[in-house]
Amino acid sequence: MAPSTEPYHMRVTTYNHVRNFVSFALKFLEENPDRPLVLHTLPAADVTNDTTTASHGKRKRTDTDEAQPAPKRAKPSQSTDSVPRLLSVVEIIQREYLESRKIGQSGLHQYNEIGTLEDEGLAPATEHVDPLDAALRGKNFTKIRVTPFMRITLCTRPVPELVDKGSTYQGEPPVRKKSKAAKSRERAQRRQEKSSLED
């Protein structure tokens, strides 16, 4: 059976350790190079192939999980609160992935999407207020209540169809180059090896 190329969703939360997200993501990308990893802040009950322990990625949801008690539904505000952690996790994954590659190999392709739970139908819609119209009517400080979320897709290969759907593409990190210190150490090691061969 051919390996799956369907995106794998992992929900990033504020109450789990960053190292668990990072270690799971790096292992997943290593074992599934053709499968995109989608990290997001959407509420848990609203993603179909999310992990039940998505935050630490210990096991994938299966049909038997329906017999288990349903997880508490996340408050919409948690989608917003988790965005800074999501960004931190992705930056660490990008850095760790690049460091684990050989010199000269490229990093991960990254696609970013920002939206609101209201637009996705995951939170009750609020009355739309046009800020310009409100200002013209003399109403200052109008409150526009929406709940933003973020979704970031990481993959070892380009996924141009995500850009067509509205995601923004963030190119691969620059190819890692050897530092001056590393080059100096290599030269010293070569001199040492040469002198030991001459002796």
Alpha-carbon distances of 45 from 40, 49, 132, rounded to whole Å: 13, 10, 36
Q: Give per-residue pLDDT as tens, 103-155.
A: 667 779 999 998 887 666 666 555 555 666 666 776 666 566 777 888 999 99
In contact, 49 and 6? CB cutoff 8 Å: yes
Q: Give per-residue pLDDT as tens, 48-96.
A: 444 433 434 443 443 333 333 334 444 656 777 888 999 999 999 998 8
In contact, 23 and 56? CB cutoff 8 Å: no
| Pick from 52, 84, 83, 80: nearest CA to 68 | 52
Read off the pTM: 0.64
